[in-house]
C-alpha cells in the first residue's frame, strides 16, 4: 500500500459536509468514489478536519492508501477528471510514509471567516460570506477577540454534537481585520471544537453591533455553558484554510 497526501479545495454548498453521510452527498464520498474509479479499489480518506455542511476549504489536507502502483500526479489528475463537475479539486498529491496521518500528524489548523458588512444581498459572494446589514465595529471586534486567545475551556463555543474528549483548547490567533465592506476573521489553533469558529464569530458579531462588550464576551467564555452562547454564525462564511505539519516534514515522530 502506498499512502498519498492530498490537498483539496472545495466549495461546500452542494455538500452535507466533509464527512461521509448516509443521507446526502459529502466531499469525502465524492473523492473516495473518484479514487476508486481510477484504481479499482475501495478508498478511505482521512482528513485534518471535518467541515460542516456549507463550509468551504482553500486547502484541506487528507490522505488515502492505494495498493495499485500509481504516480501521485496521475492519481491527482485522475481524481480531478472523475470529480467533474463537482466543485472539488485536488490541488496537490504526494507520497508520504505510512506513519504520516492527515489528522493525527497535524499540529495546526487555520480557518478564515468572511463577513460582508453591507445592506445589499450578496451576488458574487452568495454562500461564500455572511452578510450582516447593520454596521459592525471591526476594531471593537478585534479588541474583544483577544479575550478568547490562549488556553481556555471553550464549552460555551462548542456544539452539543462535539466529539472531542476535552473542551480545553489553546487558541493561538484570533484576528479581525476590515477592508471596505469585507471583515475577515482568522483563527489558528492546534485543533478546534465542533462549531468553535462559528460560535466565536457569532459572538464577535454581537460585539461589532454594540450588543455585547468585551467583558460580556469574557463572561460567556467563563460561563463554560452552551446556553451562554450569543449566536452561532452561519456556515457560508467559513473556510478551512490550511493544515500544518511539523516543519512541513511528513513524519512528526521521526525527528
Instruction: Using CB under 8 A, list all residues that contact a second copy.
Output: 9-11, 56, 58, 76-77, 80, 83-84, 87-92, 118-124, 126, 128
Question: What's the CA gap between 148 and 228, in Å, rounded?
Answer: 14
Judge whether 125 counts as a catalytic residue: no
Indicate the residue among 91 and 173 with the shorter CB distance to a second copy: 91
73 burial type by CB count under 10 A (0-12 exposed, 13-18 middle, 19+ buried): exposed
**Residue 197: all three cell numbers together:** 469558529
The least CB distance from residue 155 to a second copy, in Å, is 33
- Residue holding cell 474509479? 37
The single residue of 52, 125, 137, 215 carrying the catalytic annotation is 52
The least CB distance from residue 97 to a second copy, in Å, is 24
On whether 111 is known to bind a ligand per the annotation, the reply is: yes
Distances (CA, A) of 189 to 26, 64, 93: 25, 24, 25
- Residue holding cell 498519498? 4
With CA atoms as reference, report the closest residue to 136 among 171, 175, 80, 177: 177
Question: What's the CA gap between 43 and 40, in Å, rounded?
Answer: 9
| Residue 238 CB contacts under 8 Å (≥ 6 apart), including other chains | 51, 52, 54, 55, 56, 111, 112, 113, 197, 198, 201
The least CB distance from residue 239 to a second copy, in Å, is 8
Is residue 156 within 8 A of residue 224, CB to CB? The reply is yes
The least CB distance from residue 128 to a second copy, in Å, is 8
**What amino acid positions are annotated as catalytic residues?**
52
Amino acid at each position: 500500500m502506498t499512502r498519498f497526501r492530498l490537498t483539496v479545495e472545495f466549495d461546500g454548498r452542494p455538500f452535507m459536509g466533509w464527512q461521509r453521510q448516509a443521507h446526502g452527498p459529502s466531499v469525502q464520498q465524492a473523492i473516495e468514489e473518484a479514487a476508486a474509479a481510477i484504481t479499482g479499489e475501495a478508498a478511505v480518506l482521512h482528513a485534518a478536519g471535518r467541515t460542516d455542511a456549507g463550509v468551504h476549504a482553500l486547502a484541506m489536507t487528507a490522505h488515502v492508501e492505494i495498493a495499485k502502483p500509481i504516480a501521485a500526479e496521475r492519481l491527482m489528475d485522475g481524481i480531478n477528471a472523475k470529480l467533474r463537475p463537482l466543485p472539488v479539486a485536488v490541488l496537490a498529491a504526494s507520497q508520504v510514509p505510512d506513519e504520516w496521518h492527515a489528522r493525527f500528524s497535524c499540529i495546526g489548523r487555520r480557518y478564515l471567516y468572511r463577513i460582508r458588512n453591507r445592506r445589499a444581498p450578496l451576488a458574487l459572494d452568495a454562500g461564500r460570506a455572511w452578510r450582516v446589514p447593520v454596521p459592525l465595529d471591526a476594531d471593537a471586534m478585534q479588541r474583544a477577540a483577544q479575550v478568547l486567545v490562549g488556553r481556555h475551556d471553550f464549552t460555551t463555543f462548542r456544539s452539543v454534537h462535539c466529539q472531542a474528549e476535552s473542551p480545553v483548547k489553546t487558541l493561538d490567533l484570533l484576528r479581525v481585520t476590515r477592508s471596505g465592506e469585507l471583515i475577515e476573521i482568522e483563527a489558528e489553533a492546534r485543533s478546534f471544537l465542533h462549531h468553535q469558529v462559528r460560535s466565536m464569530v457569532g459572538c464577535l458579531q454581537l460585539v461589532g453591533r454594540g450588543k455585547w462588550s468585551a467583558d460580556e464576551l469574557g463572561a460567556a467564555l467563563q460561563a463554560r455553558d452552551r446556553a451562554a452562547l450569543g449566536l452561532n454564525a452561519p456556515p457560508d462564511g467559513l473556510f478551512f484554510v490550511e493544515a500544518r505539519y511539523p516543519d512541513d516534514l511528513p513524519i512528526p515522530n521521526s525527528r
